[in-house]
Chains A and B, each alone.
Chain A
Amino acid sequence: MQDRRELSPTKINADLLNFTLKTPLWFWIVAFVLSSILGVAAITYIFILYYGLELLGYQNTIVWGFLITNFVFWVGISHAGVMISAILRLSQAEWRRPVTRAAEVMTVFALATAAMFPVLHTGRPWRTLYWAFPYDYARGIFPDVRSALIWDPSAIFTYLSSSAMFVYVALIPDLAVARDMTTGWKHSMYTVLAMGFHGTGRQWKLQTIAGILLSALILPVFVSVHSIVSWDFAMAILPGYHATVFPPYFVIGAVHSGVSAVATLMAILRKIFHLEDYITADHFDALGRLLIVVATGWLYFFLLDVFFGPVGEGATELAVWNLRFFTFPYSILIPIMIITGYLIPVPTWLFRKMRRNVTVMFWTSLCVNVGMWIERYYIIVPPQSFKEPFTFEWVNAYLPRFADWILVIASFALVSFGVLIFAKLFPIIPLFDIKEGQVLKQEIRIGRVRVPAVIRE
């Protein structure tokens, strides 16, 4: 990490609170476009509630389609926050500083979006909620704690509330700065939210410990969440789903898509907020190196699933893999997934020049998430398309309809809208973390050159 610039506290405040304190025209345009998409999706969903799930492309036994694919995809993206924030905090990696909050915020909005989909997918959300919360003793309805579909809400609720608290705790010092730089209703809002934080030595000590302690506590939750999501499938005896490799495979896939999404988000933030002094080529270089390892781990688990699935699982399992690999339209998914999720990005990231090119990192990380969305689709849909014996009336493939597509598009709009509104109200890059990086920075002399070093790296 050689690329460190000298930044005064005043400049850091001015740069990182600029968007929070002033509203450019593009904000209103983007907010309007995103809310229009959300409006169309809301109207579509009202139609689904009225006419039923027939407006979605479900066929015969295929009742887990785009909505469940979206659920798994967004839970995966939500793993970015902990992977980047918690692991890098615990290892005290200096390059984490500008990246952590955006990753954590993306976690919160991605997870909230993900949590909506299983509920929407049931078609009668108000009834679904009784399955999980609250306990409806009067009508004798209880959650079945033996079902993976009940483990899921408990894991997601834990992860979502923990991540939201994590974001808030780390935000308190920056809320105090925002309080000191604003007037009117904004000042009142930040005053209440900052809770009278004044930056005493004790408060900073607790803040530093909080970052590490909460990271250590959230990490096990992070691993459990996607493991439990994978059990939604692995606990079923449906061929193609019933695989012991699913938990680690899902977790590493989540990390792959999540870290890639962070790279995409960082490139967007850098461009639109002019954060070239804060999000540097070094950060993309580090993310790229991390992604090479993660992507290769993900490929390894994908191959494990491919090898162990057909071997010893019998004719039915083989038939599902036959569907996945050789039956159109599913047969085109795995090549696209491998090409976009591994073969294009990883060889590109092997070159330092490419990793340090923000445009290249933006497109390759976006490419990964195209592949990862397809991965979730190929895991979920083909096993349900398998024609079981004694089933006579059959339509071969799941055919997504307008309602499926608009809900997928709306999920991207919802996460983007959430992050945009958060960035409008609060600093998306942690001010105090950047300032701490400046305090801990020192220059050392090696031979004839002076290079930046950090006390704690």
Chain B
Amino acid sequence: MAVRARDSILGVFGDPDTVVGAVEGLRNAGFTGSDVKVLSDTPYPEGAFGETPERHRLYVFPFMGAICGFSVALLLTVATQLAWPMVTDGKPIIAVPPMVNIMYEGTMLGAILFTVIGIIFESRLPDFGPTPYDPRISQGYLGLLVSGPTSRIDEAARALQSAGAIEVVTTDGARARA
């Protein structure tokens, strides 16, 4: 079996205050902000556990989508009218005012579609990797996921247990109760 260079471990906690202490303990032990993640079934306010604020580029996605959607809608409407050049009431073949409706919808559809893709991408989904997880997190428990070099995982486990973790779960599913 190949030995992983990096590994993760999960501590399961019963209340938010203990998690705050655990995060602080892990920081003192030398684990950085990106090594420590809090798992919960509820969107707690950012920074509630002392974790590092997450950066993302979601706001770029709607703009990219809007440009793509607008371009496709423009191409579609112009090409359609040129391919079927039927003069109506002596008006120009390319009639801009009615095109605006379809271009508007195309722009919005592109923006929304790209936003959804952006949300999934920036949320780092899909994620079916071997991350340690405990279904009790869905029942209101909190998880503290620590990643780091394999050599430091035991140290992280000790820090989690000393901070009051109810249970510690490893990547291969082994559990150790505090």
Contact = CB atoms under 8 A, between A and B. Distances in A.
A195 B135 contact: no
A127 interface: no
Given A146-B88, A151-B98, A198-B39, A217 B108 contact: yes
A151 B102 contact: yes
A228 B102 CA distance: 10
Contacts of B128: 195-196
Contacts of A161: 109, 112-113
A180 interface: yes
A207 interface: yes
B176 interface: no
A346 interface: no
Contacts of B28: none
Q: How large is the interface on B (under 10, 10 to 19, 20 to 34, 35 or more residues)?
A: 35 or more
B111 A217 contact: yes
A147 B101 CA distance: 10
Question: Could you say which of A207, A209, A228 has the most chain B C-beta atoms within 10 Å of its C-beta?
Answer: A209
A200 B38 contact: yes
Interface stretch (B137-145, B154-162, B167-175): B137-145
Interface string B99-140: 101101110110111011001101111111101010101111
B37 A154 contact: no
Interface string A175-204: 011001100000000000001111111111
A162 B116 CA distance: 9
B44 A204 contact: yes
Best-buried of A209, A213, A228, A455 by chain B (most CB within 10 Å): A213
Contacts of A162: 108-109, 112
A172 B120 CA distance: 10
Contact of B41 (A173, A209, A455): A173
A154 B101 CA distance: 9
Nearest to A176: B138
B164 to A, nearest CB: 19
Contact of A432 (B41, B102, B115): B41
Interface string A390-415: 00000000000000000000000000
Given A9-B140, A158-B109, A432-B41, A214 B80 contact: no
Contacts, number: 184
A205 interface: yes
Given A202-B123, A204-B40, A208-B43, A145 B102 contact: yes
A195 B127 contact: yes
A interface, by DSSP: helix, strand, loop or mixed?
Answer: helix
A147 B88 CA distance: 11
Nearest to B36: A201
A145 B81 contact: yes
Nearest to B49: A201
A436 interface: yes
B113 A217 contact: no
B101 A155 contact: yes
A198 B95 CA distance: 50
A13 interface: yes
Contacts of A217: 62, 108, 111-112, 115
Given A165-B113, A209-B58, A213-B58, A221 B42 contact: no
Interface string B28-56: 00000000011111111110010100101
B125 A432 contact: no
A168 B120 CA distance: 11
Interface stretch (A60-68, A135-143, A321-329, A362-370): A135-143
A8 interface: yes
Contact of B105 (A146, A207, A221): A221
Contact of A200 (B39, B81, B86, B101): B39
B124 A202 contact: yes
Contacts of B145: 198, 200
Nearest to B88: A146
A235 to B, nearest CB: 9
A93 interface: no
Nearest to A177: B138
B102 A203 contact: no
B137 A198 contact: yes
A92 to B, nearest CB: 13
Q: Please provide the 5 A-B residue pairs with the shortest distance between their CB atoms, ordered closest to farther.
A: A9-B140, A196-B127, A180-B135, A195-B126, A204-B43
Given A137-B83, A210-B115, 16 more contacts: A144-B86, A145-B77, A151-B102, A154-B105, A157-B105, A162-B108, A180-B137, A181-B135, A196-B131, A200-B39, A202-B54, A202-B122, A210-B58, A210-B119, A221-B108, A224-B104
10 contacts: A145-B98, A155-B105, A195-B125, A196-B128, A199-B137, A201-B49, A201-B54, A203-B124, A205-B56, A207-B123
